[in-house]
Structure 1
Amino acid sequence: MRTIGLIGGMSWESSAEYYRLINQRVRDQLGPLRSAQVLMYSVDFGPVEQAQHAGRWDDAALILEDAARRLQAGGADCVVLCTNTMHLVAPRIEAAVSIPFLHIADATATAALEAGTLTVGLLGTAFTMEQDFLKSRLAAQGLTVLVPDADERKAVHRIIYEELCVGVISDASRQVYQRVIQTLAARGAQAIILGCTEICLLIQPEHSALPLLDTTALHAQAAVGFALQGTGIATTFLAAT
């Protein structure tokens, strides 16, 4: 089994989900007492968040490049960045190491295409919804990506940083997301990408009229697929979680 290297802490709430999902899937594949070989470097989210909102992406990239190098030095066989937003600097992280970098958009696009979904609604931070680093990679693989309008993006972003990243789960906020999902469905979305690794803490399949593409679960699944490659254990993508 290969060793999965996780860059976590952004936020640790969702990083804990990665650890749980990866180990559950390995147990399901290999047996009840089996677990994944994992290294996690969990960064302090405070300086990263400050750099994000100040537009100091180079500063944030330096933190994550260092984390990736530490994982490689510790014996990781791949790097998994446990956040959508910081994939904005994915090329920097990928260039900092010689081991594979498993991109979150690739796992998501694979699941969407296998489900026959070509038009998706994207929920995430304002950075993810408004900039092209994730949308363009999804589009390059054949997907049409819809995002909420400006007021909806502001609400989705606020709930992520003020609530989900600090473990606050609110029914009122869930209703906000449900209204946004309904609007995206009316515009033609066939499924919704939960494009922030904390959104799965708030929105589950029973809360959405559309199928969900949970980037946290799909990314974790891709990591397990990489770890078990060559072991003779079959792994497949799930279109919705």
Structure 2
Amino acid sequence: MSENVTSVYTTSKRIGLLGGMSAASSQLYYAELCRLTQAERGGLSSPDLLLRSLDFAPLEAWMAAGNWEAIADTLSREACQLQAAGAEVLALATNTMHNVAEQIETVIDVPFVHIADATAAALNAAGSKIPGLIGTQFTMEQAFYLDRLRNQGLDPLVPAASARSVINDIIFGELCKGIVLEESADAFIKAATELAFDGADSLILGCTEVCMLLNEDNTPLPVFDTTAIHCEAILKAAWDC
């Protein structure tokens, strides 16, 4: 092994990624992590990564039933297994499952890269203080995400209740299955436009599949894509930079 290759590996921490929630978003994560690594390091570089892709069906059923304890137990166990397999930095490839991030952090001994913290840092760096938030109903309505943003000086806005329901149905009924429909994009664009009218100065794509429908070109607000932001933060933690 050449000295150059050795130096790359000794300056990288192995990433442990909990994915499969959904499979569509995990594909986006892997592609983005590979793209960023290749862009930064060149050549044939790719991320030093362990991916645990879980079956989303039972997790989604527990989520719908409000059984977050079962989800926390499952993801905590899987996080420990990733750490035992050699992961030195851990991340959840999903926004909504960060509802159990605190439980996961209590059982691991390696850094955990929180998606909301990375997003808040990006918003603050850009000077955005009133972000609109589009994600699952859990993310748009529950304190685990909104309070995390508020605690870092942000004042997030969410769509009206009727729009939140439509958005949630599209995420789970279409995007998580890799289905992209023009009429669904129109519904998301309408929600983003209404958030801008309500005073939002930016837009958080607060579900890792939302970037399949929304981007800088079809929304009236600066877009903060949590998938891309999280991937950058994960690599920064792995590369100690």
| TM-score, structure 1 normalization | 0.94
Q: Which of 187, 212, 233 is 2:198 aligned to?
A: 187
Structure 2 CA distance for aligned equivalents of residues 76 and 38 of structure 1: 8
Give % identity.
44
Q: Which residue of 2 aligns with 1:95?
A: 106
Structure 2 CA distance for aligned equivalents of residues 2 and 178 of structure 1: 38
Q: Which residue of 2 aligns with 1:219?
A: 230
Q: Which residue of 2 aligns with 1:127?
A: 138
Structure 1 CA distance for aligned equivalents of residues 153 and 43 of structure 2: 38
Q: Which residue of 2 aligns with 1:203?
A: 214
Aligned residues: 230
Q: Which residue of 2 aligns with 1:239?
A: none
Q: Which runs of 5+ in 2 are unaligned?
A: 1-11
RMSD (Å) for aligned C-alpha atoms: 0.8
Structure 2 CA distance for aligned equivalents of residues 183 and 74 of structure 1: 46
Q: Which residue of 1 aligns with 2:158?
A: 147
What amino acid does structure 2 have at the position aligned with 1:123?
I
What amino acid does structure 1 have at the position aligned with 2:73?
L
What amino acid does structure 2 have at the position aligned with 1:68?
A
What amino acid does structure 2 have at the position aligned with 1:212?
V
Structure 2 CA distance for aligned equivalents of residues 181 and 117 of structure 1: 16
Q: Which residue of 2 aligns with 1:27?
A: 38
Structure 2 CA distance for aligned equivalents of residues 5 and 17 of structure 1: 16
Structure 2 CA distance for aligned equivalents of residues 72 and 129 of structure 1: 30
1:23 Cα shift?
A: 1.2
Deviations 1:108-162 (A, max 9, x none): 0011011110000011111111111011011110101000111000001000000
1:195 Cα shift?
A: 0.5
Structure 2 CA distance for aligned equivalents of residues 170 and 63 of structure 1: 33
Structure 2 CA distance for aligned equivalents of residues 44 and 96 of structure 1: 22
Structure 2 CA distance for aligned equivalents of residues 90 and 227 of structure 1: 19
What amino acid does structure 2 have at the position aligned with 1:153?
R
Once superposed, which parts of structure 1, at least 4 consecutive aligned residues long, lie more than 4 Å away?
none
| TM-score, structure 2 normalization | 0.94
What amino acid does structure 1 have at the position aligned with 2:55?
D
SS at 2:156's partner residue?
strand
Q: Which runs of 5+ in 1 are unaligned?
A: 231-241
Q: Which residue of 1 aligns with 2:240?
A: 229
Written as runs of structure 1 = structure 2, the 5 A alignment for 1:160-171 is 160-171=171-182
1:32 Cα shift?
A: 2.6
1:74 Cα shift?
A: 0.7
Structure 2 CA distance for aligned equivalents of residues 213 and 132 of structure 1: 20
Written as runs of structure 1 = structure 2, the 5 A alignment for 1:101-112 is 101-112=112-123
SS at 2:51's partner residue?
strand
